[in-house]
Amino acid sequence: MCGILAIIGKGKNEKTAKTLSKRMSHRGPDESDMLITENGHILSHERLSIIDLHSGRQPIKGSKNAYVVHNGEIYNHQELRDTVLNHHTFRTKSDSEVIVHLYEEFGYDFCDKLDGDFAFVVINGDDYIAGRDPMGVKPMYYGLDERGRIYFASEMKPIADQCQTFSTFPPGHFYTQKTGFVKYYTPVYEDHTKALQELDLDLIRETLTEATRKRLMSDVPIGVLLSGGLDSSLTSSIASRLLSESGKKLHSFSIGLDENAPDAAAARKVAEFLGTEHHEIHFSIEQGIEILDKLIWHLETYDVTSVRASTPMYFLSKAIAEKGIKVVLSGEGADEIFGGYLYFRNAPSTEEFQKETIERVQKLFTADLLRADKSTMAHGLEARVPFLDKAFLEMSMQIKPEEKQPKTYEGIEKYILRKAFDTPEQPYLPKEVLWRQKEQFSDGVGYNWIDQLIEYCTMQVTDAQLEAAGEIFQYNTPTTKEAYYYRAIFHKYYPQLSAAQTVRKWIPKWQENQDPSGRANAAHLQADVEIAKANITA
């Protein structure tokens, strides 16, 4: 939805603050505004207009002297206006405005009343509060400069060269000067022993449908990222049904190296089945390599998986934005919730399986959510993720883990999610898509993408450079030439140790091959063999 910057403390002039904020202008190409309070604090906002196109400019003032800047969407804003805030006078129709009124009504204790994806800062005189949504769908960083000023920003770009130290703002927390960080989101599922809920397929279907309905809230056109995999296909199918109730047609978008890419072919089949207005985008390996430098600047990470998968998403987002679409639904989160990655098949026990799903969900903000936000917002496009709806997440994470384990259902990952939408009378998807094996996005656009990317990076980094990697990159030292190449680009833009420490490398558990590609798992290799045998027989 936008980019926010807050500087708490006196001394930064308006010109400097505007320059820093404009480093995120890609996040909010529609308009920008800035407030310098009487106490010298600064709130800045780069806006992507989605809700209340005409009066939703930020910072937004509350009923008294408090102001808010907010990145994200508050899906229950109308409910809050009609209930706990019904005696407040609102200046706009923006969903963001409820935040400042909640602060005026409840003080610091209001974040758990918000249903949405958000990062915000409220300033009231010298008092302030900053908060981030439970999963970290919306990014935020914080830092401290040499004069003791505190910075909050949607990306590292405005603060990395201003702060002595900075870090990622933890999801599910708020921060005030009086309290420090407070964890307001403490779901039952964080205790792995509490996953005791019996399987209810109807509840899975109904809750995900409602999560998707919320995310269709918009005053601008909405599309879907349709990879042809299970997760994006389900959100596309649900959204298509919901929009058809009001006579609207869904725009779907897919990407691949060519029309024969695994994901592109499956997405075409889904789009035809659903009757969406489908757009298929292609990119070349040369184009992908060419934009790596700019991409890593946008992503603010050197994680191998994130860079691989963000490249096609970057091209796809550019094409979508050029068609005038500002919001898309995306399928992030399902693999973490339901143990959908192929390595989950190798979990040594049900307990370890459940612990891993919890950790993967908790760390989503370091990888898939970072990719989903920054790849899209590089072009002023907002991605919404129904699978990480709070109600759906909390329900599905408490289902007994043996119901999720692939070995319970002859090795089929995400079986219960597939089964919940296996409705023969009114099918959501073609059978061959509903039961298609997992492809990671970076693989599904075409296997040559990863293979040739690795080959290119190998040619750019010498053996001597890799051997000396520990001298240059003492923290999180890269161990492959591909990882070294990405790290070198990242270091060029973000040389601070604090920047390197915001990145968490993802390595799949319980398999010998540590490459994060899904194809490194034996289950994928076996599936390839079986498909090849079937083709020979045919």
Q: Is the pLDDT of residue 305 over 80?
A: yes
Q: Where in the chain is the domain with CATH 3.40.50.620?
A: 190-537
More confident residue, 447 or 425: 425
Which of 387, 3, 362 is closest to 171 using CA atoms? 362
pLDDT band at residue 444 using 50, 70 and 90 as cut-offs: low
| Structure confidence by residue, pLDDT tens digits, 59-105 | 999 999 999 999 999 999 999 999 999 999 999 999 999 999 999 99
pLDDT of residue 514: 67
pLDDT at 247: 87
Q: What single DSSP character describes residue 380? A: T
pLDDT higher at 302 or 512: 302
Contact call for residues 104 and 60 (beta carbons, < 8 A): no
**Look-up: residue for tokens 């190449």?**
485
Beta strands in 9-159, from DSSP E residues, in sequence order: 31-36, 42-47, 60-61, 67-74, 116-124, 127-132, 141-144, 150-153
CA–CA separation, 174 and 12 (whole Å) = 24
3-state SS, residue 163: coil
Residue in the structure block whose two tokens are 């090795």: 411
CA distance 89 to 85: 9
Kindly report, residue by residue over 7-59, the tens digit of the pLDDT.
999 989 899 999 999 999 999 988 889 999 999 999 999 977 776 666 678 99
Q: Which two tokens stand for residue 472?
A: 């240059």
Percent of the chain whose predicted confidence (pLDDT) is above 70 = 93
Start-end of CATH 3.60.20.10 domains in the chain: 2-186
Q: What is the pLDDT of residue 30?
A: 84
Choose between 388 and 261: higher pLDDT.
388
pLDDT value at residue 336: 97
Note the pLDDT of residue 537.
35
**What does the pLDDT read at residue 437?**
75
The CATH homologous superfamily to which domain 190-537 belongs is HUPs (3.40.50.620)
- 365: helix, strand or coil: helix
Indicate the range of 292-296, 341-345, 525-529 predicted with least confidence: 525-529
In this predicted structure, the answer to whether residue 475 has a pLDDT above a threshold of 80 is yes
pLDDT at 532 over 50: no
Residue 217, C-beta contacts closer than 8 angstroms, at least 6 positions apart: 51, 73, 75, 95
Winning range, highest mean pLDDT, from 1-5, 80-84, 506-510: 80-84
Q: Is the confidence at residue 538, as pLDDT, over 60?
A: no
CATH architecture of 2-186: 4-Layer Sandwich (3.60)
295 CB neighbour count, 10 Å cutoff: 22
Q: What does the pLDDT average to over 322-348?
A: 95
Q: pLDDT tens across 160-179, in order?
A: 999 999 999 999 999 999 99
Strand ranges, E, within 37-87: 42-47, 60-61, 67-74
pLDDT reading at 352 higher than 60:
yes
Sheet with 327-329: strands ordered across: 277-282, 251-256, 222-225, 327-329, 382-384
CA atoms of 513 and 535, how far apart (whole Å) = 27
List beta partners, residue 116.
74
Q: Are 72 and 9 spatial neighbours (Cβ–Cβ below 8 Å)?
A: no
For the cut 80, the answer to whether the pLDDT of residue 516 exceeds it is: no
User: What's the pLDDT score for residue 303?
Assistant: 96
- pLDDT tens for 355-407 read 999 999 999 999 999 999 999 999 999 999 999 999 999 999 999 999 999 99
Q: Is the peptide bond before 134 cis (omega within 30 degrees of 0)?
A: no
The model's pLDDT over 115-136, given as tens digits with 9 standing for 90+, comes to 999 999 999 999 999 999 999 9
The percentage of the chain sitting over the pLDDT mark of 90, rounded to a whole number, equals 82
Output the six-digit token pair for 238.
């649900």
pLDDT at residue 534 tops 50: no
| Residue range 190-208: mean pLDDT, rounded | 98
Q: Is the pLDDT of residue 417 over 70?
A: yes
**Among all residues, which ones are annotated catalytic?**
2
Give the span between the Cα atoms of 340 and 87, in whole angstroms.
Answer: 46
Burial (CB < 10 A; 0-12, 13-18, 19+), residue 79, is: middle
First to last CA, the chain: 50
Concatenated DSSP letters of 509-537:
SS-S----SGGGSHHHHHHHHHHHHHHHH
* pLDDT band for position 156 (cuts 50, 70, 90): very high
Please report which helix (H) or strand (E) contains residue 224, including its range: strand 222-225
Rounded distance between C-alpha atoms, residue 339 and residue 166, angstroms: 33
